[in-house]
Chains A and B, each alone.
Chain A
Amino acid sequence: MEVGPVSTDEGSGAVLSGDRTERGATGSPRIGSGLDYVPPRSWMPSEGDGMRADPMVDDGNRRPRGRRGPLSGIRVADFCWMGVGSVATRMLADFGAEVIKIENRARLDTPRRLPIYKDDPRSYGAEDPNPDPNKGGLFNNYCRNKLGVTINMRSPQGRELVEKLIGKSSVVTENFAPGVMERWGLTYERVQELSPEAIYAHMSGFGQTGPYSSYRSYGPIVQAVSGLTFISGLPDREPSGWGFSYMDNQAAYYNSAALLMAIMQRNATGKGAQIDVSAVEAGISLLGPDLLDVAVNSRPTRRPGFPPGNRLEYPRAAPHGVYPCAGEDRWVAIAVFDDTDWERLVDIMGGPAWTSDPRFGSQQNRFDNQDVLDAHLSEWTRSREPHEVMHLLQRGGVCAGAVQDARDLNEVDPQVAHYDLFFELDHPVIGPARFEGNPIRFSRIEQDNWRSAPLLGEDNSYVFTEILGLSDDEVRELAAVGAI
């Protein structure tokens, strides 16, 4: 394989030469630290290897093109599905990696099936028995910027094809139950034979080892097992827990970070790695000081008054809560941490008589008398809109936020709009749609949005012929025997 530059983009070339001068001026690079410039490596595909380095423009024809971003040149054989895996590899796809999602026609990815359809409101459970796999909005949101192929891993030809694809990739990702990849013969050793410097990432609920490694999980199970559900709710009743799969997102972000760390390290050392991230362990690491209070002070969380709901014991904030506003199910969050905050709040409210009650005379007193304090404050917020309270308080230096729903984020929130957080791409079946973008703004990198999510098997021909070098006849034969 010819070793070429990461990108033939002119701007990038100019930066490269600038960099060398810079480094000359600022002293010697730290050898092998992984923190300095590294030359292009053999696993970075060059032109003629199926990756086209140009054109950069989206010509509207959905054909895969060369990608921009720090991860351009990295090809990922992506077996991920469901939430965690798809969100984890989305970060790679957004920033230039060629993520090739490998799907099974006989077992559709759940986000393809979930009935989140344009102009067709249905509940989560109201699935079609035979859904159109290309209509699912959640799949579109999770898999934009990825390529999609279908391979039947039950067929010998399918498994052979996957091995060819891994041979042309430098990252392999999966979030099946532990053992599934190995049953297909795809052990780390085999993957290294196919792609010597490969990074092989396993994402699972409980990790690849240990007595419960085969246990089934998804977001709510991970949250329950790790303690995140228990510490969430009003005291002395069932937990309110989480209204979404928080740990699908967080485990995904942890897996994205793990992949990026391995890529950074490989850039420096030339060595790949196998990665094992357990969502339950990520969840436990997110518990915070409650866990340390147990470990250090032997203070159990199964105690009266815990969890504290919206109140905050550390530090002793008061008022601290979610207060009713005008309108149905509309709320505002307010957090007062000290005397200065309180004096500002009293001022903003116009100094009503109840605020001079000695029960509210100090932070400790306010903390001790929250029931009556909250009742008074609720009376003040009740006649106002959530955003009105938020702005009144924030402009007066008090911490407050409207409890925003998705409509607020999409249609009201000027901060989200300023950051162009939600972007739009067209889709052949769904039409134009919005997507959740990246909340990070870089001065030198941009998210590279080149295409909405792949139709089922959309890139079979491109990947199997142009990347793997099969002939059109061979691809037709694979289709005929049910291998793709």
Chain B
Amino acid sequence: MNETDGRDATPYTGLVVVELADDLAGEQAGKQLAELGADVIKVETPEGSRSRRTGPFAKDVVGVDTSLTFWTYNAGKRSVILDGSDSGRAALRALIAKADVLLATLRPSELAEAGLDYQQLLETHPRLIVLSVTPFGLEGPWADYRTSDLVGLAAGGPLMSCGYDDHSIPPIRPGGNQGYQTAASFAHCGLLLALIERQQTGVGQLVDVSMHCSLAVSGELANPYWFYPKVLVQRQTSRHAQPEMTQPALFRCADDRWIYFALILAEQKPWEALVEWMDSLGLAVDLTDAEYSNLTHRQQNFHHVQDLIEVFFLLMDSAAAYHEGQRRGLPIGPVQAPEDLFDDPHLAARNFFAPVSGDEGVTALVPTSPFRFSSFDVPSPRRAPRLGEDTAEILADLGEAQHRGIPG
């Protein structure tokens, strides 16, 4: 499972994680561990996890082993099917007894239903770390409320900062399940703190990660603006929500693609770099006039400046705006679509994408782990498991372990 090629083992080599996760926050947390070498055993019902039934599907073939949602969040894990029968529950207890980490997304009512008691588990298995990743946390008045990515982002605050200048349009959810991703990131850090604590004490613990609280501290300026001047920020198209509306930062280019560029009028150096660039193409018009070196004058003529910049970018392709702007020291970024990334020479030079083979005869480029260490190589990406693919192997290992007297 954990081959290394001459260099040190990864930090998670030998770490055994039992995953009882039926939402993307828990699945993503487990995926990050698997990606870096942990043995993540995903426990599934005979029907399989919910994400297996969530599209899109590879080659549009619908099935429990072809969901790209499942592939995304479960790569590198092993899958075991355990049902709710006595023997299923006994096998689960035996798996937990062997594990370093129990990663679970069950809300309090679901825990009770499953007959799991974390306190008791920790007493029986003092080295165990229970990593609980739930919508609202294990305690509190909302602990049994349901969530989804949209609902999580809404209640947690980030959604209110996202959308368009036109406030008759509701706040718009950013893509890619980032509510769940935010919870997963805190789960990863929380587990690491507990593992480091265990290195020093030998004792595990309960780590209670709330997706809601994770999002409530991840809105950047919204809380500080409330903590200090007690003002609310207002959402603005593709740029920072702020107490007041600011100028647009998306510019359309000749190739009908967008770039992001936030001109901060108060900064002299970028201003000069921009005007010099515009002038080099004969498009600076009057911006080279001496009075524009004065901030107040720029501020007073702000709409004129913005109009000229809009025309300037409309006359070049987004790639030219990106690279020439960056060459001149201006922070400009093209709004790239996912399909643009596979051709990016920078990512190619860093070997960021790597091929992985899955079912349906698929070989696809996937992102490698974004962590780069000098002390170990990040393992090559692996595919997600088929439903129950490792059941026989895992149960056989358990049988042996029970034979050796590890308590069930």
Q: Which B355-371 residues have C-beta < 8 A from chain A?
A: 358, 362, 364-367, 369-371
Residue in A137, A209, A264, A307 whose beta carbon sits within 8 Å of that of B196 in the complex: A264
> Does A218 contact B331, Cβ atoms closer than 8 Å?
yes
Taking A121-B231, A331-B171 as given, write out 11 further A-B residue pairs in contact, using a Cβ cutoff of 8 Å, ordered by the A residue number.
Answer: A141-B224, A238-B258, A246-B220, A248-B220, A276-B372, A290-B338, A296-B362, A302-B337, A403-B155, A406-B226, A413-B155
Compute how far the CA of A412 lies from the CA of B188 in the bound complex, rounded to whole angstroms.
29
Residue in A300, A406, A433, A445 whose beta carbon sits within 8 Å of that of B197 in the complex: A445
C-beta contact mask, B126-150 vs A, less than 8 Å → 1, else 0? Answer: 1100000000111111110111101
Q: Which residue on A lies nearest to B167, using beta carbons?
A: A329
Residue in B202, B244, B371 whose beta carbon sits within 8 Å of that of A277 in the complex: B371
Q: Which B1-19 residues have C-beta < 8 A from chain A?
A: 8-9, 11, 13-15
- In the assembled complex, 13 residue pairs joining A and B whose CB atoms fall closer than 8 Å, in A order, are A216-B331, A232-B175, A234-B164, A240-B162, A243-B241, A312-B150, A322-B171, A402-B155, A406-B222, A415-B142, A421-B213, A443-B205, A444-B201
**A405 at interface, CB cutoff 8 A:** yes
Contacts of A404 in B (CB 8 A): 154-157, 160
Q: Which of A33, A70, A267 has the most CB of B within 10 A?
A: A70
Contacts of A439 in B (CB 8 A): 186, 209-210, 212-214, 216-217
Residue in B138, B171, B244, B367 whose beta carbon sits within 8 Å of that of A284 in the complex: B367
Compute how far the CA of A30 lies from the CA of B217 in the bound complex, rounded to whole angstroms.
37
Q: Which A58-91 residues have C-beta < 8 A from chain B?
A: 70-71, 83, 91
> Does B189 contact A243, Cβ atoms closer than 8 Å?
no
Min C-beta distance of A330 to chain B, whole Å: 10
Min C-beta distance of A104 to chain B, whole Å: 17
Contacts of B233 in A (CB 8 A): 243, 406
C-beta contact mask, A272-297 vs B, less than 8 Å → 1, else 0? Answer: 11111110111011111111111111
Compute how far the CA of A138 lies from the CA of B233 in the bound complex, rounded to whole angstroms.
14
**B174 at interface, CB cutoff 8 A:** yes
Compute how far the CA of A269 lies from the CA of B195 in the bound complex, rounded to whole angstroms.
15
Min C-beta distance of B96 to chain A, whole Å: 14
Contacts of A20 in B (CB 8 A): 202
Min C-beta distance of A443 to chain B, whole Å: 4
> Does A207 contact B154, Cβ atoms closer than 8 Å?
no
**B190 at interface, CB cutoff 8 A:** yes
> Does B238 contact A220, Cβ atoms closer than 8 Å?
yes
Compute how far the CA of A440 lies from the CA of B252 in the bound complex, rounded to whole angstroms.
42
Q: Which of A216, A284, A289 has the most CB of B within 10 A?
A: A289
> Does A123 contact B243, Cβ atoms closer than 8 Å?
yes
> Does A289 contact B72, Cβ atoms closer than 8 Å?
yes
**A167 at interface, CB cutoff 8 A:** no
> Does A137 contact B336, Cβ atoms closer than 8 Å?
no
Q: Which residue on A lies nearest to B236, using beta carbons?
A: A243
**B26 at interface, CB cutoff 8 A:** no
**B333 at interface, CB cutoff 8 A:** yes
Nearest first, the 9 A-B pairs at minimum CB distance are A19-B202, A439-B213, A243-B161, A231-B175, A241-B238, A401-B155, A418-B140, A406-B226, A137-B228
Contacts of B54 in A (CB 8 A): 314-315
> Does A224 contact B260, Cβ atoms closer than 8 Å?
yes
> Does A127 contact B266, Cβ atoms closer than 8 Å?
yes
Contacts of B335 in A (CB 8 A): 224, 229-230, 239, 241
Contacts of B243 in A (CB 8 A): 121-123
> Does A313 contact B176, Cβ atoms closer than 8 Å?
no
C-beta contact mask, A246-267 vs B, less than 8 Å → 1, else 0? Answer: 1011100110111011111101
Compute how far the CA of A15 lies from the CA of B199 in the bound complex, rounded to whole angstroms.
12
Compute how far the CA of A109 lies from the CA of B184 in the bound complex, rounded to whole angstroms.
29
Compute how far the CA of A58 lies from the CA of B324 in the bound complex, rounded to whole angstroms.
53
**B112 at interface, CB cutoff 8 A:** no
Contact A121 to B137, CB < 8 A, known contacts A212-B326, A253-B186: no
Compute how far the CA of A210 lies from the CA of B372 in the bound complex, rounded to whole angstroms.
14
> Does A240 contact B163, Cβ atoms closer than 8 Å?
yes
Q: Which of A12, A137, A272, A274 has the most CB of B within 10 A?
A: A137
Q: Which residue on B lies nearest to A218, using beta carbons?
A: B331
**B89 at interface, CB cutoff 8 A:** no
Q: Which of B69, B137, B201, B364 has the most CB of A within 10 A?
A: B201
> Does B189 contact A409, Cβ atoms closer than 8 Å?
no
**B264 at interface, CB cutoff 8 A:** yes
> Does B36 contact A419, Cβ atoms closer than 8 Å?
no
> Does B154 contact A264, Cβ atoms closer than 8 Å?
no
**B282 at interface, CB cutoff 8 A:** no
> Does A227 contact B72, Cβ atoms closer than 8 Å?
no
Contacts of B338 in A (CB 8 A): 227, 230-231, 287, 290-291, 294, 301
Contacts of B147 in A (CB 8 A): 399, 401
Q: Which of A30, A124, A224, A268 has the most CB of B within 10 A?
A: A224
Compute how far the CA of A245 lies from the CA of B158 in the bound complex, rounded to whole angstroms.
11
Q: Which residue on B lies nearest to A73, using beta carbons?
A: B200
> Does B14 contact A30, Cβ atoms closer than 8 Å?
yes
Compute how far the CA of A307 lies from the CA of B178 in the bound complex, rounded to whole angstroms.
15
Contacts of B176 in A (CB 8 A): 228, 231-232, 286-288, 290
Compute how far the CA of A232 lies from the CA of B159 in the bound complex, rounded to whole angstroms.
12
Q: Which B229-270 residues have C-beta < 8 A from chain A?
A: 229-233, 235-244, 246, 249-250, 252, 258-260, 262, 264-266
Compute how far the CA of A394 lies from the CA of B212 in the bound complex, rounded to whole angstroms.
15
**B105 at interface, CB cutoff 8 A:** no
Q: Which residue on A lies nearest to B365, using beta carbons?
A: A295
> Does A284 contact B155, Cβ atoms closer than 8 Å?
no
> Does B140 contact A333, Cβ atoms closer than 8 Å?
no
Min C-beta distance of A473 to chain B, whole Å: 39
Q: Which A80-133 residues have C-beta < 8 A from chain B?
A: 83, 91, 95, 116-125, 127
> Does A254 contact B59, Cβ atoms closer than 8 Å?
no
Contacts of B186 in A (CB 8 A): 253, 438-440
Q: Which residue on B lies nearest to A420, using beta carbons?
A: B213
**B290 at interface, CB cutoff 8 A:** no
> Does A394 contact B146, Cβ atoms closer than 8 Å?
yes
Q: Which residue on A lies nearest to B194, using beta carbons?
A: A442
Min C-beta distance of B370 to chain A, whole Å: 4
> Does A333 contact B367, Cβ atoms closer than 8 Å?
no
Residue in A23, A32, A211, A400 whose beta carbon sits within 8 Å of that of B345 in the complex: A211
Q: Which residue on A lies nearest to B14, using beta carbons?
A: A33
Q: Which A423-458 residues have C-beta < 8 A from chain B?
A: 430, 433-445
Compute how far the CA of A122 lies from the CA of B150 in the bound complex, rounded to whole angstroms.
30
Min C-beta distance of B89 to chain A, whole Å: 22
Contacts of B136 in A (CB 8 A): 415
Contacts of B374 in A (CB 8 A): 188, 273-275
> Does B196 contact A315, Cβ atoms closer than 8 Å?
no
**B329 at interface, CB cutoff 8 A:** yes
Residue in A22, A211, A258, A275 whose beta carbon sits within 8 Å of that of B203 in the complex: A22
- Stretch in contact with the other chain, from B305-313, B346-354, B391-399: B346-354
Q: Which residue on B lies nearest to A211, using beta carbons?
A: B346
Min C-beta distance of B132 to chain A, whole Å: 9
Contacts of B315 in A (CB 8 A): none
Contacts of B266 in A (CB 8 A): 125, 127
Contact A35 to B15, CB < 8 A, known contacts A220-B249, A233-B172, A239-B335: yes
Q: Which of A116, A241, A276 has the most CB of B within 10 A?
A: A241
Contact A400 to B151, CB < 8 A, known contacts A292-B71, A405-B232: yes
**B275 at interface, CB cutoff 8 A:** no
> Does B237 contact A238, Cβ atoms closer than 8 Å?
yes
**A407 at interface, CB cutoff 8 A:** yes
Q: Which of B15, B158, B185 has the most CB of A within 10 A?
A: B185
**A305 at interface, CB cutoff 8 A:** no
Contacts of B240 in A (CB 8 A): 124, 220, 243-245
> Does A225 contact B336, Cβ atoms closer than 8 Å?
yes
**B193 at interface, CB cutoff 8 A:** yes
